Structure 1
Amino acid sequence: MTLFTDPARAIPDGFPGEKMLVLPRPRVREVMSKPGMSHLVVTDCGYFPEARSHGRIRRVPISQAVVIICSKGKGWCSTEEGRFDVHAGQAIILPPHRVHSYGADAHDPWTLWWLHVDGLDIDGFLSYAGMTIEAPVRTLSDMYATVSLVAEVIQWMERDTTDSSLLSAAGAAWHLMALLASDRSSVGGTGAAIEQAANYLRSHANKRVSVTDLAAMAGLSNSHFATLFRSHTGFAVLHFQTQLRMSNAREFLDTTAMSVEEIARAVGYEDSFYFARLFKKVHGQSPSAYRKHDKG
C-alpha cells in the first residue's frame, strides 16, 4: 500500500513562523521511569502555519501517538486502512506502533497544531475512545478550545524541561485527549447523528423519548441506532436517559427543599415510588437518605 504518493517533494518541517519543541530522548526515558509521570508524557509539539508541501511518511512505527489539529486549510492522512481527507476544524489522532503518513493539500495547505504523546495509558485510552487507524479523523465541536490546549502544551514545553513543566504540559494534553474523545463523530460516519441524538436526550431528559423516535430522527433502523448509540456513549438509550434524570434528581435533592414526589415529577417520573426504587438502584440509597448524607 502506498502511504504517501510523492515523498520526494514532502518536507517534515522548516516553515516560516513555525514552533517545534522536542523533548530529548534521554529525558523522555527518565520521565517514563517515574511512576507519577509515566501515564502520559508529551514528547514533541509544535505549530506549523500554512505548511506548504508539508508531509511525513513513517514506514517504521513510532511509540508515540500523533495528534494533529487542522485549524486552517486542508490535508490528508493515510493508515493501513486507507486515505482520509482532513479539513479545517478536524483532528487526526494516529495510534502508536502503526505505520502512517500525512500531508498538506497542494492548493490549500493546512495550518497545524500538533503534539506527540507517550505513556502507559495511551494504548488503552485510544482504544476505549475509538481513536483507531480505521477512524483517525474527527470533527471538532470546539476548535478554539482544542487549539488553546495545544498552545498551552507548547507554552509549558517552551518554559523548560523540569518535572513541574512536563506535568503541566501533560495535564493540558490529558484535557485535550478528553475533548477529542468526547468528539466521537468521525468523518464519513454516523457519529454526528448519534451525538445529536444524545444532545436531544440531554435537553429533553424529563420527557418520554422512544428509541423509535430517535432512530427516525437519525435516519437509522431501531437496531442499528441502538447499537451505534451504545458504542458511542457506552450506555443503552434507556440507561443513558436514566443517568441524565438521576443527575437532575441529585441536583434537586442537593439544592432545593422539594419533596421526593415533586422531584420525581420534575425529572420525568409520574410514579414517585418507581422513581425512588430506581434512584436506590443507581445510588445504593434512597433519595431521602441521599439528601441527609454529607457531601462536598
Structure 2
Amino acid sequence: MKISKLYFHIHYCNWKDSHSPGNRLRKVARTLQHHAFLFFDKGKGNFTIGKKRYAIQEGRLFYVAPHVFHSLELDPKTPFCCLTVHFSYASVHFNDLQWEVKQETDILPLPSVQEVKDNYQVGDLFKKLVDSWNAKLPGYEFLAKTLLQQLLIALYQNNKRKDRNDSVALKVEKIIQYMHQNVTRKITLAELSEMTQLSPSYLSRMFKDITGYSVIGFFNKIKMDKAKELMMEGNKKVKEVAQALGFVDEFYFSRLFKRMEGISPSEFYSKNVHGL
C-alpha cells in the first residue's frame, strides 16, 4: 500500500475536552463503517479495540479500523482533551492515460496505539487538521485532506522510529524544555550540542528525525507561538514583543513572523485583538 496512491475523504473532525457541552465522549461504545484516529492530548481511562484493552494517557494516538468494535471510558475526575478525525480512502492509479479507482478494504498498516508524546510533528499536524476543518474557511476540505495525508506519513515514520535510541529522544525532549525556558533569548546549535554532549551534525539530524523540524526552525516556531500569545494579551506593541523574545531587529522579527504565519505581526494584532 503506497500512501501517495491514496485519496482521502474526511467524514468529520472533532475536538472534545473537559469543557465540551455534555462531555459525551466520557463513555462511548460503537462500531464504525470507516477509519478513525483519536489523539489524546491529556486524559486518563481505558480504550478497548476489538479484544485488546489499552490505557488512555497523554500523547497516545489510537487507530480504529472499519467494522471493529471499540469502546472508551474516561476517568471523570481527570481533565481530558481528545482530537479525532473520521475518514475513508480509495486507491487511485493513473496508467496508460486512464484513471483507475479502487475502494480500499484493507486496514492501514499501523498499530492500534502509538506513543507520540515526544513527536511534536504528529500533535501539531493533528491540531492543524482539526482547526482547519472546524474553521470552514474557503478550501478547507482540500487543506484538511492534505494535512491528513501528512499526518499519516508522520505516523508511519513515528512507527518506524519506535526502536530508536531512547537516550537521544530524551536529550531532544530536554532541548525542547530548554527552548521553552529560554524563549526570551537567543540560543545556538553549539550551545545545545555542548549541553547534550552530541556533535552539532548528529544533533541536527536526530532533532529533525524526531520532531520533523530543524533545531533553529523549531525554536523560532516556539518564539512565534509565544509572540502570538503576547499579542493576544493586547498590551504589547510589535516592537515590544520582538524585544521580549530576544530579537534585536524588529524588522527581522516581522519578516520571520510573516514567513511562518502567513501574515505580518501588525496584521495578526489587528485581526485578533481589534477584530479589524
Bigger radius of gyration: 1
- What is the TM-score normalised by the length of structure 2? 0.47
TM-score of the pair, normalised by structure 1: 0.44
Larger strand share, 1 or 2 = 2
